[in-house]
Amino acid sequence: MNKKLYKLMNWPEIEGIIYSEEDNPHAVLGAHVAGNSVLIQTFQPGAKSVRIQPEKGDKSYPMELADEAGFFAALIPGKALFAYDYLVEYEDGTLKKVKDAYNFKPQITKEDTEKFNAGIHYNIYEKLGAHPMKLDGVEGVYFAVWAPNAVRVSTVGDFNGWDGRVHQMRRLWNSGIFEIFIPGVQAGDCYKFELKVKGGLTYLKADPYAFGQQLRPETASVVREINGFAWEDQKWMKNRKKIQAKNAPMSVLEMHLGSFAKPEDGREFYNYRELATKIIDYVKKMNYTHIELMPVMEHPFDASWGYQVIGYYAPTARYGSAEDFMYFMNELHKAGIGVILDWVPAHFPRDAYGLSNFDGTCLYEHMDPRKGSHPHWGTLIYNYGRPEVKNYLIANALYWIEQYHADGIRMDAVASMLYLDYGKNDGEWVANIYGGNENLEAVEFLKHLNSVVKKREDGVLMIAEESTAWPKVTGDVKEDGLGFDIKWNMGFMNDYLSYIKNDPYFRSGCHNNLTFSMIYAYSENFMLVFSHDEVVHGKATMLGKMPGGRKDQFANLRLTFGYMITHPGKKLLFMGQDIGEYDEWNEERSVEWGLLENPEHKKLNKLMSDLNKLYTTKPALYAKDDSWEGFEWINCITPQQCMLSYLRKAEKPEDTLVIVANFANAKQDFTVGVPFEGKYKEILNTDAKAYGGTGTVNTKEKRSIEKEWDGKPYAIEMVSAPLSLSIFAYTPYTAEEKAEIEKAKAEAIRKAKEAEEKRIAKEEARITALEAKAAKEAAKKAIEEAEAKEKAANEAAERWKKINAKK
């Protein structure tokens, strides 16, 4: 070997590269000016020879084999660096032209790493992961990964034979980040990171920030370009904040993409693009405002339904590519449909190629299993106190919002994040610094996340699946709230289902379950939910939960849907329940769309469509959803009749709706107190024949009766079918109707007065006649008495006369 070349080479670092233990290979490999020459070094394992081919000129330079493992070096005269390729010949005689990956500067700055290490680099996904780009006129992909405790990290893939020696990465100062730009790699190429950790263990990991993943059971990450999609949803995005305001209607169809519909051509799944058309058609027909997708982030196990995520930044390959999913979102927005994404920051699976023990240490999780694992779920818990982990999750939520235009993030299992002892027995958890069971780090993470989303993407909804009484879940962060926009109302769901499953004969004894939700209805901004969790694992479908025979089950379910729509709160229903499925949901089958050929199921489906339409067009059902001003009980204290009546109100009195629900399996006649004089027309009755009922409805408009009832100044009288709900719309009398009513009242008063006068005159005449009769009888009696007295006097005089005569 050339002595000058030999002296210029750093042999200890070269040995580190050959043994794959060097974390700064760029200091050795590539081209470096050395005095009056350029030193070029490369490691090409398995190569027989290597030549340097400058891009300009015809001359090439042979490289000397410095180590038989495949390390080559050459000293080129001149001080100027130049562009070149390697011409590599292998032992089997094959030739390959290779661009040098070690001549490119880092694309991550110290400012980037400082922000990331502080947990505030909200676009870190633009730096870490795999990013196609052109550097110095060279096309390739820039790779970067956070693995602070690794000895060495390499990028491996189809492009280098999955050989971790070929593309060893550079550690960026003390950031814990490794990076490399590899020329020639393209979108669609598969890759992983190979990590060598202390002790020598070497293994492969999928990219935590990958924009694509292989379809299971394969586990490699996939290079994806996500910046070229042409969005056409500007109108939706402009109006989104108004569409999703507190005082706007929101009816959500929750769905699992893989089982919403199944192809009939032998494929396992439809593509995102195909699903978009099918979903839009159904959602528009049913008048839902939004859909909520069970997790679309890449996950290895179908039966986890997406709740055990490996690829947090990758739309699952089951249904297509990242661009396909963008198309899906774009099309739904163009159709006026919002999309909420389920997101799982509470835990992650232990799969060896995922985040667990990522760099040989518990990097994303806690080391102490009492903090870092869920014993019942078998999953790991994020270390929310580590800034880089918190940054990973916050940036991920923003990624789905900003890159895929998600309209909301529904956060799964928030309760498990808030409580250190969630699902754990004594001895399986560690108290916080104050001795309590609150996860203070998770609380701060949630506040941080929600405040950042509000600051960057105001109008996007943050929704919590939180099942406990933790206060201020939807409270403002500035007032020590968690900062969510909406909380799932699990209490309503549990109480209502425990009530409705009872035979109507026994419902009077648990009436409180029906009304208790209104005690706390305005303590948070709630969404009423009948989600996928309620129709699996032996719980039965919504229809299957209903008591009685088939006819009564449908009636109970119609009543249930009506009560949910008219109860304060946003709405969510899982797919298949609005057609009355009897079979529990199973991710391996499609929704049973064939049931719509059956009249009972079709009519139930029509009811849900009409309820959604009514909900989205009647301000009383949504305009004051977060205030007592929008709701008022009429009668909630007659459990023996199993009935409820209540008002839903908006700004205008004429928007008022009167709702009467009959939970008894008996036809009943009700007198219902109403607040205003006017007309009350039944605009929906769940017992209508169009919905599969008996047709016991109130066809005639009800005019208010001027009498106090239920604490109201007026009342209406109506008939209520068994297991039914009626909705009456109020209309004030017109001026003409009012004048006519006043005229009728005046006429009635006049006639009543005349009748009263006649009655009085008749009564007076009767009394006069009675008095005359009494006077006549009194006079007769007086005469008779006088005559009797006269007779008696005469008789006495005669007796006296006789006495005197005897004398």
Q: Catalytic site residues? A: 412, 465
Q: Which of 539, 541, 613 is nearest to 576 (CA)?
A: 541
Token pair 């849900």: residue? 608
CA distance 586 to 583: 8
CA distance 461 to 453: 9
Amino acid letter for position 686: T
Amino acid letter for position 746: A
C-alpha distances in Å from residue 575, one per residue of 21, 288, 333, 530, 705 = 53, 11, 20, 10, 43
Cβ atoms of 578 and 286 within 8 Å: the answer is yes
DSSP code string of 33-99: EETTEEEEEEE-TTEEEEEEEESSSS--EE-EEEETTTEEEEEEESS----EEEEEEETTS-EEEEE
- Give the orientation angle of helix 599-617 with respect to helix 550-566, to 10 degrees: 10
CA distance 573 to 530: 5
Cβ atoms of 383 and 366 within 8 Å: the answer is yes
CA distance 682 to 174: 71
Cβ atoms of 254 and 298 within 8 Å: the answer is no
Assign 31 to helix, strand or coil. Answer: strand
Q: Which two tokens stand for residue 500?
A: 């409705």
CA distance 69 to 338: 57
CA distance 529 to 486: 12
Give alpha helix (H) positions in 507-648.
512-515, 542-545, 550-566, 599-617
DSSP code string of 191-259: EEEEEE-TTS-EEEE--TT-S-BPPTT---EE----S------HHHHHHHHHHTSTTS--EEEEE-HHH
